[in-house]
Each structure stands twice: as C-alpha cells, then as structure tokens.
Structure 1
Amino acid sequence: GGPIRLHTLAAEFDDRPHVGVAITDSGIGMTPAQKARLFERFYRADPSGNIPGTGLGMSLVQEIMELQGGRIDVDSEPGIGTRVTLWFPLVEVPASITQD
C-alpha cells in the first residue's frame, strides 16, 4: 500500500552489457529463509491468506528472465522493504537493420 520506486541501471555481466529495471518498495520485506524460497512454485511467504496470490508470480518472472538471457536480483530486509532488479542483456542491432 506504500510508494514504489522504479529506476533503471546499467551493468556488465559475463562481458556483456545489461540494462536493469529496479523496483523498490518499503513494505514488510523478507527474512533470509523466505528469500531463499522466493522462486519456488506455490511458495507463499505469508500462508495466512491475508495477502492475496498463488505463489506463482516470482517463479514465472524468473523463468521469463532466463528465457530472455537475463537475470533477477533480489535484496530484502524484514521491516524495511524489497528491491527486485530485472537485468536484460543488451542486443547489438546489425547496421543493416538501423540504416534506411
């Protein structure tokens, strides 16, 4: 229910440039144990049902990022919030495509 920040980043992984899209919230955050299970299908950090969801979202995001040749980084602190960064590899466009 609080503010969400969105910003872009640049980095290089495996000698390849990447652009990152970082999403940061100031929500409840995750414990190290919750973060370790974040990408498991149907895992719910809050099984009480107070927070809606099926537990599929982050596992699907991870699969999509892998299919794109990217990666996902997650930083989280209980009581402080979470930052998820999606790293997309930059693709070199052949000169023949960019010329009119």
Structure 2
Amino acid sequence: MLGGEGRDAIPARIEREMAASVAEFEHGLRLGAPGEVSVLGDGHYRVVHEGVTLDIHIRLHGQRCLGALAIGLLWVVYEFHGGEPQARRALLTRLDVAMLRGGG
C-alpha cells in the first residue's frame, strides 16, 4: 500500500525514480491514459479522468550502469488533485501497468 488512510488512499504527491527515456515514458503515458494527455510544458503533463487531475513532472536523473549497459533514469513526480481515492488508485494502476517492461 502506498500509505494514507484506508485501503484505497493515494497520497496527493508521489515521487519515483524510473528507468526509462523521456520517449519511453511518454509512450507508456499515452498508452495508459484513459483520455487525452496534455503537455503543459517541458516535462510537464496532465491527465484528467473521472474527477481526478493528475499533473506529472519528469526530469532526467542520470543513468544506471549494468555492466556495459547504461539505462537512463527519470525522476517522476505525480501530483493528484481532486477525485475519489478509488479513482486516483485506478488511474495510477492503469498508468503503472502501461509502463511495465517485458522481461525474460
């Protein structure tokens, strides 16, 4: 659970490190968003769905090296405004699933 009161509670602000390029992040965001993704500025996106406004801010955060492989990192901040806890959780889950990478 991400914290907060109750099973469905989502904090108003979530910060994460993600192993992805900006292009990969944008692709996953557009795949997972239930509607339009608005680009409000460089690294600033907005998704509005079922009474929830989700502002997303991304910035480059270095890279992780695994042997000869270098994986780009992003620092991602999700800021939720409005909406019921269940709607926030459903939106976050939908985006998380869309951004999963296949593995071996």
TM-score (norm. length: structure 2):
0.29
Indicate the structure (1 or 2) with the bigger Cα radius of gyration.
1
Greater strand proportion: 2
**Structure having the larger proportion of residues in helix:** 2
TM-score in terms of structure 1 length:
0.30
